[in-house]
Amino acid sequence: MISGGEPLLYKDLNSFIAKTADLNLRRVLFSNGTLINPDNIGWLNVDEIQFSLDGWEQGHDMLRGKGTFKRTMKGIKAAMEAGVPVSFATMIHRGNLDEFDKMEKFIEQTKGLEWGIDFPVAAGSLENNRHLMVSYKEAVPLLAYSFGGGYHGSSEGFACGRHLITVMPNGNAVKCGFYSQDILGDARDGLKDAWLRLGHIPLDRLECKSCPVLAECTGGCRFRASNSFAPDPVMCAVYGISK
């Protein structure tokens, strides 16, 4: 997963993509799409581009800035015309609650591989813009629009995080971007060593280990839970579980 911030702002992205072309890896570029165009799509030689689509024009621009929706649409068009598979990621927020039908119709037309929808975590800039947050009750019905993947990746018997490790721009290896202060090591000194320091959480250690839907829920987001072993309130709402 080639992510950021916005990876197209990285001056050596062209070289990075070229040098990783022969690795036995499936490469997915995560982008807001505003910098993708017919001139650079030719060297964006990846297996998939996942576009951040945080609403239709009004809702998307509310979150990402005036005019960004139209630029993102141009990026999506460039990828599709070049034959690059596309997928989408959407965060539920106050400005896009009534726009999911429009997004669904558009995404069906693109034949997108996946539409990941999630409830936002109050971190980063969102901490200073809590008016954009919505209640679990408002959000849960909208999660049903998603397709092509689970809410949070995991592997059998373990909570979210077993499937990934993140390398930050400064080379630090961390569990994921939300855990940027919990450094596992410098990836340049050996990614395997950093991976082995990652504390994977078995499902049978969670506070909700006796929940009847745990095998399906897999515990949800560990950062969103009140502590590493607590229930994720969003997933409890999804499955109608009272905490």
pLDDT tens per residue across span 172-230: 999 988 899 999 999 999 989 998 998 889 999 999 999 999 988 889 888 889 999 99
Task: Fold for 1-149, please state it.
Answer: TIM Barrel (3.20.20)
What is the rounded distance in angstroms from the CA atom of residue 90 to the CA atom of residue 114?
Answer: 11
- pLDDT value at residue 154: 63
Using CA of residue 191, residue 227, residue 158, residue 140, what is the dihedral sign?
A: negative
pTM: 0.89
- pLDDT value at residue 122: 66
Low-confidence ranges of the chain (pLDDT < 50): none
**Helix (H/G/I), strand (E/B), else coil: 157:** coil
Q: Apex CA 239: angle with CA 234 and CA 243, to 5°?
A: 65
Residues 85 and 47: beta-carbon distance below 8 Å: yes
**Helix (H/G/I), strand (E/B), else coil: 174:** strand
What is the rounded distance in angstroms from the CA atom of residue 52 to the CA atom of residue 145?
Answer: 15
